[in-house]
Amino acid sequence: MGKYPMLYEGKAKKLFETDDPSVLLIEYKDSMTAFNAQKKSNVSGKGSLNNKISGNLLEYVDSLGIPTHFVKMVDETHQLVRRVEIIPLEVVVRNITTGSLCKRLGVPEGVELPRPLLEFYLKDDALGDPIVTEDHISAFGWASPAEVDEIKRISLDVNNILRRRFLQIDIVLVDFKLEFGRTSENTVILADEISPDTCRFWDKSSGERLDKDRFRKDLGSVIDAYREVWKRISKEEKQ
């Protein structure tokens, strides 16, 4: 694979141009961060696992009618994606209480919500990705009301699809973060990644964390948890 100009390097990925101006190359890194990059480490093999898990899940939701930026896998740590204009919002869908929700609202951890809770956060590392309302989004022009409605619809559809799939492999989808982009045709599609870096996965029987919380909370081997998620996903595909 040839070397292409790098457009951007984030905490977990690098983004490169390709020979096709409508397609970009993503490289998944082994670096791991938490608490707005205040905690950092390098976990050998994490990039490869996130690349495979995210590629698989994006392809899966795409096959069920959810438009995504995913094009195809290239190798262990690279995938091709459609070029989009990233909407500066992070969308968090919560099914069970944990994490910042419990800290902000003083609610106990592990409570199954009566319906999925959807939250918006502004993508801004310098501000710590603050939570925002739909009124904020409209007032500052980060997305139009029609785009917000589409983002909400897609997010809840993805939640329904992935909850069912993960329950089949004895994993509870606790919550997850999504990002979206605008295509050149001004269509909103799913972008970024779906991986143990961006989702909370709990083993259905034991409650064991199989995600980035292992790093956040010093719960032991991160890579073993990520390998377990990929093992269950890939085993299900072979059946």
Q: Which CATH fold topology does 6-82 show?
A: Phosphorylase Kinase; domain 1 (3.30.200)
Give residue limits of the domains in the chain. 6-82, 85-221
CA distance 99 to 96: 10
pLDDT at 13 over 90: yes
CATH number attached to the domain at 85-221: 3.30.470.20
Q: List pLDDT tens digits, range 160-212.
A: 999 999 999 999 999 999 999 999 999 999 999 999 999 999 999 999 999 99
Cβ(72)–Cβ(26) under 8 Å? no
pLDDT in tens, 130-158: 999 999 999 999 999 999 999 999 999 99
Amino acid identity, position 165: R
Both tokens of 138, joined, read: 């409209």
Give the pLDDT score at 2.
57
- Give the pLDDT score at 168: 97
Higher pLDDT: 3 or 51? It is 51
Judge contact between 56 and 50, C-beta under 8 A: no
Using CA atoms, how far apart are residues 186 and 120, in angstroms rounded to an integer?
21
Closest alpha carbon to 1 in 12, 16, 21: 16
State the pTM of this model. 0.94
